[in-house]
Structure 1
Amino acid sequence: MRDEIERYWREIALLVHAMPGAVVARVAEMLDDCRARGGTVFIAGNGGSAATASHFACDLVKGTHLSGRRPFRVVPLTDNMPLVTAWANDTSYERVFAEQLEPLVRPGDVLIAISASGNSPNVLAAARVARRAGAVTVALTGRTGGKLRRLADLAVCVPSETIEQVEDAHMIVAHSLCVALRQHLRVSAPARRVLTDPAPHPAVADLD
C-alpha cells in the first residue's frame, strides 16, 4: 500500500504545478473587490465539496480577519441543515441551494460553486439564480468543467479526472486564496472606519 500512497502524492505534486495560477489570482481579485464593496460571498457544493464549502467559508471569514480591515461577509449554503432538508422535502434536492440563495443574493455578490464533475444539478440551479441576480459566479470544478463552466464568469478547472485529486486541489485553491488575501489585506491601507462606534449613552440625570 505504501507504493500506492506515494504514487498518489507524486501525482498531486504534478497536479499542483499544472494548476491555472493566473485564473486563481483573478478569483482572489474578484473576492477582494466583493469584500471592499461590502458584498457577500456564497459557497455551495455536494458531498466532499460540501465539506470544502464549509471549510472555505470558515477560513475566508476567520483566516483573513485583520483589525482595521473590512471583513469578508460569507454564507455557506451547505450548513443550515434544517433549511436544506426542508427545501429538499418540499421541493427537490435540486433546489436546496437555489432557494436559499434567491432571497439573499444581490448584484455584485459572488457565488463560489464547487462541483468536481461540473454537473451537480443543485449547484447548477444556484449558478442560474446568481446569474439572474447579477452576481458573479466562480466555479471550482474538474478537467472539463461540465455544464457549470458555461454558467460561470470564471472557472478554475483542475486538470485531472480523479475525483479525489480534484477535491484535494479545490482545498489547496481555497487555502491559497485565503493566504493571499490575508497578506494583501495586511499590506493594504486600512479602511477609514470598518464599524462605527455606538452613540454614547446620555448622561444620567442627578435626581438628588
Structure 2
Amino acid sequence: MIDMQKHDQDKLWESVLTLADIDVDQAKAVFKVVIERFLHKVGMFTPLVSKIPLSLPSSEKAHVLRKLENEMLEILSHNDKDKKYELLVEYIDNISDLSEEDSLLIRRKILASILSEKIENRQSIEINEITPEYQIKQEKTTSFYTPKEVSKKMGLSDQTIRRMCEKGKFPGAYQTGGGHWKIPHNAFITTPEQDQKADELFEQINAINEKAGDADEFDL
C-alpha cells in the first residue's frame, strides 16, 4: 500500500514539473492538488492551501518535499506519531517558504487550520447520532462523493476510505440507512471540476510522453 501511495504521489509530482514548462498557472493548481492529496493521505485536512498564493518549487525544493512525503508515508506504517508530526511541521515549513506572502504568517495559518479541522472532527456529530432529518437536510444542501470517487481522488483504496469515514476523518460524512457512505464535496480543497481538469491534463501529458517523449508546450 505504501509503495502504491508513493508511486501515485510521484506521478503527480512529475505532472507538476512537466506542466511548469507549459502552463505555470495550471502547474500551480496541480501543485496544490499534490499538497492536498498528500495531507489527506496522512490524515491531515486544511481548506487553506487553495487560498494561498504559492510559487512553483524549484527542482531542489521539489526533491525535499517529495523526500519528506516518502518519509511520512513510511512513518505511517510504524505508527510513530511524534515523528509524523515532526516531519509534518518540516513539510509545512517548506511549503510556507514558497508562499508569495510572509512565510511565517502562512506557516502559522496552515498549522492553525489543521488543528482547527482536527478539533472540529473530534467534536463532530457521532455517526450513530445522525438522525434521518439531519441526513435529509444534508442531502438537500450538500453535494457528496461516494467512497469509490474519493478513493480515486486521493489515490487510496475504497476500504481505506471507508475506514477513514468510520474514524471521522471527513467532516460531515455519514452513513445512510443502507450502509452507504456519503462524503461532502466541501471536505476537500479541490472541486470535482478541478479534479477532472487535472486528470485531463495528466492524461494529455502521459499520452504525449508515451508517444514522443517529453511534452512540448505546442502539443497541448
Same fold judged by TM-score > 0.5?
Answer: no
* Structure ranking higher in helix proportion: 2
- Higher CA-based Rg: 1
TM-score by length of 2: 0.28
